């Protein structure tokens, strides 16, 4: 089985090819071409559940691949959280935006952005390594987004959370600040 994003296809079983401190390379975190991002048409294609894990370094890691999630747990001892997250599309679609996953080079801590400008700025510092597109999320509720997702920052860690969970994190976990809304997710697998 192969997963296809943009014009690149990788084996779904590729999983993590990581030693401690090395780059996480995933079947779903691939580079998507600019043409694929801008020429998306139609409704969202197959959807994948988005998972949040905590790394041994205390960072947060996101994937829309069950095999990558399982490899992170079995090979690296990372823990799957109970943070409520929903679904993203595996393919570009009208009204969707790519979700880029970037790894902080100092430890296993990841940031997710939907902004090509932020992606370029962060990778340009040399402090973040681009791991590519995890999938595609609705830019608005009109594009099919049911659930608004926010990003939080705290002590060189970055998190994603839906509105109700964002409020809980800010109220009960000191040190987090709200970056603002990121995009939307689909409430159902579709």
Per-domain residue ranges for the chain?
47-185
Question: Which tokens sit at 72?
Answer: 């992170």
141 phi, psi to nearest 5 deg: -70, -30
DSSP state of 24: P
Q: What per-residue confidence (pLDDT) applies to 43?
A: 67
Identify the pLDDT of residue 56. Answer: 96
Distance CA 30, CA 38 (A): 16
Spell out a b/e string for 105-136, using b for 16 or more CB atoms within 10 Å of the CB, else e: eeebbbbbbbeeeebeebeeeeebeebbbbbb
What distance in Å separates the CA atoms of residue 153 and residue 14, rounded to the nearest whole number? Answer: 30
Q: For position 45, what pLDDT does the model report?
A: 79
| Enclosing H/E stretch for 171 | helix 163-172
| Residue 15, CA distances (Å) to 65, 136, 138, 165 in order | 8, 20, 26, 29
* pLDDT per residue rounded down to tens, the chain (190 residues): 333 333 333 333 323 333 323 333 333 343 333 333 333 446 677 999 999 999 999 999 999 999 999 999 999 999 999 999 999 999 999 999 999 999 999 999 999 999 999 999 999 999 999 999 999 999 999 999 999 999 999 999 999 999 999 999 999 999 999 999 999 999 999 8
The token duo for 78 is 């990372």
Contact at 8 Å (CB) between 150 and 170? no
| DSSP, res 186 | B
| Residue 102, H or E segment | strand 96-104
User: Is the pTM higher than 0.85?
Assistant: no
Question: Which among 54, 53, 63, 48 has a CA at the least distance from the CA of 14?
Answer: 63
**Which strand ranges, in their side-by-side order, compose the sheet holding 96-104?**
47-49, 87-89, 128-138, 96-104, 110-113
């Amino acid at each position: 089985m192969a997963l296809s994003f943009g014009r690149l296809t990788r084996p779904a079983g590729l999983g993590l090819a990581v030693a401690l401190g090395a780059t996480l390379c995933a079947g779903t975190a691939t580079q998507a071409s600019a043409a694929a991002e801008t020429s998306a048409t139609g409704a969202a294609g197959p959807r994948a559940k988005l998972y949040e894990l905590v790394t041994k370094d205390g960072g947060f890691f996101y994937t829309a691949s069950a095999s990558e999630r399982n490899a992170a747990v079995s090979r690296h001892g990372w823990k799957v959280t109970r943070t409520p997250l929903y679904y993203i599309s595996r393919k570009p679609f009208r009204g969707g935006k790519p979700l880029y996953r970037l790894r902080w080079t100092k430890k296993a801590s990841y940031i997710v952005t939907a902004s090509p400008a932020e992606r370029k700025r962060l990778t340009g510092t040399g402090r973040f390594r681009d791991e590519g597109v995890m999938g595609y999320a609705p830019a608005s509720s009109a594009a099919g987004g049911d659930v608004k997702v926010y990003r939080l920052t705290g002590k060189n860690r970055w998190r994603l959370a839906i509105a109700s969970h964002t409020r809980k994190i800010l109220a009960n976990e000191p040190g987090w600040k709200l970056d603002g809304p990121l995009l939307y997710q689909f409430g159902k697998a579709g």
